Chain A
Amino acid sequence: MKTPLQSEPLLQTQPLLVAESLGKTVPGPDGELTLLEGIDFTLSPGQSVAITGPSGSGKSTLLGLLAGLDTPTSGQVLLEGKPFSQLDEDGRAIRRGQLCAFVFQHFHLVNDLNALENVMLPLELKGAANPKVTASHWLERVGLEHRLKHFPSTLSGGEQQRVALARAFAVQPRLLFADEPTGSLDHANGGRIGELLFDLNRETGTALVLVTHDEQLAGRCQRHLQLEEGRLFEKPEPGPVSTKEISARDAAP
């Protein structure tokens, strides 16, 4: 596993994303079911972190809470030092639109919009100037300048994910959430998309929260966390060292 980058300038800035004692329970057939418990987590601007874990360990739930798609039953999430999880749904959506972007496993392009319009969509939601120019630029950047007017149904899986990447980076987010971005692609395409994701991430200095099964992809992140039975652990360096539960304080760069 790679050693996390801990550059000086990052140390001096405010954490971008903080999770404090985050917990999530849902009602189950035999009473409350705990999905996540006591999650403490801090992400600095520009930092990349991979979250891995077996199926059902709560990866998607955690990503949902961090991105404000869902609300925790205990604890809170802070975005740029401001309460995020306590905001109402619309408040979270607007804040997310200003600061964050997403890449999904199943691409989630709008079928009725062509590639260009799909990339323009978050720009327009944000009220950005010249969305068409920006969107064209980013599609060119991901190598799809010849596919601007194509609809998702006429694009391959790899191409669709590239449109999704262009859509994510076009808004110049401070934080990118990526949920299994290579999960629906074959090995070759998955590799290319992973490459592109980290290239763009590096170029733009966007912070990245990556949920993945792909150990290789996770290994390219500065930090690697593992979810087990609803609790978050720092993934140890390769070797016979047992996992150690982390806290917000000791995980901070």
Chain B
Amino acid sequence: MAVTAGLSVDIRRKRFAGDGRTPPHTAIENLQFDVPVGQFCCLLGPSGCGKTTLLNIAAGLDHDVDGSVGIPSDDTGSRPAVSYMFQTPRLLPWMSVRDNVDIVLDPGARAEGHGVRLLERMELGSYLDAYPTRLSGGQRRRVALARAFAIRPALLLLDEPFVSLDQPVGNRLREILLDQWQAQPTTVLFVTHDLDEAIFLGDRILFLSQPPSRVVQDVAVDLARPRTPGSPAIHAFRTGLLDRHGGLLAGLAGATTDPGHSTP
């Protein structure tokens, strides 16, 4: 499957109508950017700035929007696979690890053992018949990651998937994600509020504003791969970035040290 066009986001306005308890608010306004095929693009912004909303629109879960999101299309003309790794693993607790991945595959891919191969690559080979309730938080996210890659997506959306994991487990998962992405290249939109994570993972970082969200800074991460989490190179890149765009990113830098940061 040759993917010929990347992701193009052009959202004029995304508004949530209030419902008595919550006042109406505009989550996104004039948000435009393109992601070339195969690029690993990180979206960085304060909590509540509409990042999840954007992913939901791209995933086709939310159609109530003024604007359009063009997802990578292939030469067959059919809508290519979009896959989504949510903030929580969202596994089906009544299905084994194997079935949790197989359930999203078409019968052909299931029969040739594509799901099991991916799970083995994620070091879950000995947990194929376990139920998710028996797994650790890191293991559950590896299952979710295997599921996300299993459908051979043309676009992979990730919504702060490694939040609330401790540092070593999170770093290991980030490495697994990069390994798999390099083995199976695809366009990636990775949402985070952690600047170090974005620098470690991304080819490019888009900084979003407080809501209504728009792009305030577009930064290419020109560090050579493989990168090392917490390495001097990443640290230097971060310092340079904050020096150059300190004013613009001030609110965000605070958010990276305080994940509980919220919008008024």
A and B: interacting chains: no
